[in-house]
Amino acid sequence: MPRIVMKFGGTSMAGIERIRNVASRVRAEAEAGNQVLVVVSAMAGETDRLVQLCREASALSDPKEYDVVVASGEQVTAGLLAMTLQGMGVAARSFMGWQLVRASAVHGNARVDAVESALLDEALNAGTVAVIPGFQGVSEDGRLATLGRGGSDTSAVAIAAGVKADRCDIYTDVDGVYTTDPRIVPRARKLTQVTFEEMLELAGVGAKVLQVRSVGLAMRAKLPLRVLSAFEDVPGTDIVADLSGAEMERNEIAGIAADRNEARITLTGIADRPGTVATVMKPLAAAGISVDMIVHAATRAGEASDLTFTVPRAALAQARSAIEQEQSAIGFSEILCDDAVAKVSIVGVGIRSNPQLASRMFDTLAERGINMLAVTTSEIKVSALIAEDALDVAVRVLHTAFGLDAPANSQGQAA
């Protein structure tokens, strides 16, 4: 019997009517002869509300208690969906993250280490639909742990890999992966296929349709992954190892991504000696803060220079205080912080072989008078840090410049 994981995001679970819609889709898959596991998110807006409550309770809340609070939204939707399914005559029961998902490292952004599949196997073999709250697991010290914002995607993929499911379907409020966020560019085009490699980069630079770790996990597990609409019965996007058919002929750039979750820190008057950058990164790593773009160029040997890097916006205050505490060890004159920045990126396998693509990106931004504050590149991606208020325009002009706009009469239809 085929085994499938269906994951439903926050908009799909927002309210009893929508949960009924989800339950009907789950019932259809169960009646079609599949063993079904469902991974659910909290209702849209609920996790934000819980995060805000934590902030109000304590400015620097204990991450373990933060996890206890923010994981609760998924517990509610899992129970509600299981009840709704039972009400429709479908055998179903909920499980909690601590029963299934072992996680480690930082609370609030934990990594999945293993999935205990025995309980799930038992339920599935008895013909019961397993309903599982996304985003949560149990840490090594037996405490509840959450997997970072958007983490239900990662829960779904990890569980699918853990129970050796035949595929994992991510149902959301758009009907697939687009060339860019269709809410910023209405003329974005839906991709029928995107490679794991491209999706990994797109998600890594802000395309939140999939949490980046879910893509890496699916790629390693060779798990068929799809993104689909929870509301419309239209074909979605397949995430594949290699493109085939019409997608092979497509543009060298798969998509443009936007990320507002950035803040810039500049340290001036940094000494030019081995180990300076390491002394800056060490306190940040110890605090579990990931650093994204790093720009450092010593102009003349022995002369002081500036170091610029970006951190997640929510971690800016924490990053600043971690660095200030180490000021004498690092040795810098001033720390400058700016959270009105954003990152725009082009992603595509074509970048590997065609240097003109990066140059076209820089020209396009320059023509619109958009200043690049920092640039980073990888084999299939170029990212530029720009002022946040220029972000939407940057995404639109790049989308057009790379020939990604859908023809006027066949726009992608985001739900």
Query: Does position 41 bind ligand ASP by CB under 6 A?
Result: yes
Can you say whether the dihedral through the CA atoms of 169, 175, 176, 177 is positive or negative? Answer: negative
User: CB count, 10 Å around CB of 245?
Assistant: 8
CA atoms within 13 A of residue 42's CA, in its CB half-sphere: 21
Query: Does position 42 bind ligand ASP by CB under 6 A?
Result: yes
* Contact partner, 93, from Mg ion, ligand ASP, ligand ADP, none, Cβ < 5-8 Å per class: none
Interacting residues with ligand ADP (CB under 6 A): 9-11, 41, 150, 172-174, 177-178, 180-183, 207-209, 255
Residue facing ligand ADP at closest CB distance: 9
Tell me the window of 96-104, 110-118, 147-155, 343-351 that interacts with ligand ASP (CB under 6 A): 147-155
User: What residues pair up with 384 in beta bridges, in sequence order?
Assistant: 344, 375
Q: Quick one: how far is CA 361 from the chain centroid? A: 24
Residue type, 322: A
The DSSP-derived string for 271-317 is --STTHHHHHHHHHHHTTPPP--EEE--SSTTS-EEEEEEE-GGGHH
Residue type, 179: T
Query: Does position 73 bind Mg ion by CB under 5 A?
Result: no
* Contact partner, 102, from ligand ADP, ligand ASP, Mg ion, none, Cβ < 5-8 Å per class: none
Query: Does position 150 bind Mg ion by CB under 5 A?
Result: yes
Candidates 11, 21, 35, 47: give the one binding ligand ASP (CB under 6 A).
47
Distance CA 389, CA 206 (A): 16
Least separation in angstroms between residue 227's CB and Mg ion is 10
310 is in an annotated binding site: no
Q: For residue 266, what are the CA distances in angstroms to 149, 241, 311, 334?
A: 26, 39, 11, 8
Distance CA 389, CA 341 (A): 8
47 is in an annotated binding site: yes
Instruction: Please say which residue, 133 or 255, places its beta carbon nearer to ligand ADP.
Output: 255
Distance CA 303, CA 200 (A): 39
Distance CA 391, CA 261 (A): 12
Tell me the window of 57-65, 151-159, 169-177, 403-411 that interacts with ligand ASP (CB under 6 A): 151-159
343 is in an annotated binding site: no
Distance CA 125, CA 98 (A): 21
Candidates 152, 179, 276, 364: give the one binding ligand ASP (CB under 6 A).
152
178 is in an annotated binding site: yes
Instruction: Please say which residue, 70 or 311, places its beta carbon nearer to ligand ASP.
Output: 70
255 is in an annotated binding site: no
Q: In the structure encoding, which two tokens stand for residue 211, read together?
A: 């949490």
* Contact partner, 34, from Mg ion, ligand ADP, ligand ASP, none, Cβ < 5-8 Å per class: none
8 is in an annotated binding site: yes
Q: For residue 60, what are the CA distances in angstroms to 34, 161, 223, 375, 377?
A: 46, 35, 38, 32, 34
15 is in an annotated binding site: no
* Contact partner, 193, from ligand ADP, ligand ASP, Mg ion, none, Cβ < 5-8 Å per class: none
> 310-329 b/e with 16+ CB inside 10 Å = b?
bbbbebbebbeebbeebeee
9 is in an annotated binding site: yes
Q: Which of 161, 165, 151 is nearest to 210 (CA)?
A: 151
Instruction: Please say which residue, 230 or 254, places its beta carbon nearer to ligand ASP.
Output: 230
Query: Does position 150 bind ligand ASP by CB under 6 A?
Result: yes
Known binding-site positions for substrate = 47, 74
Known binding-site positions = 7-10, 47, 74, 172-173, 178, 183, 208-209
Interface positions with ligand ASP (CB under 6 A): 9-10, 41-42, 47, 73, 134-135, 149-153
Known binding-site positions for ATP = 7-10, 172-173, 178, 183, 208-209
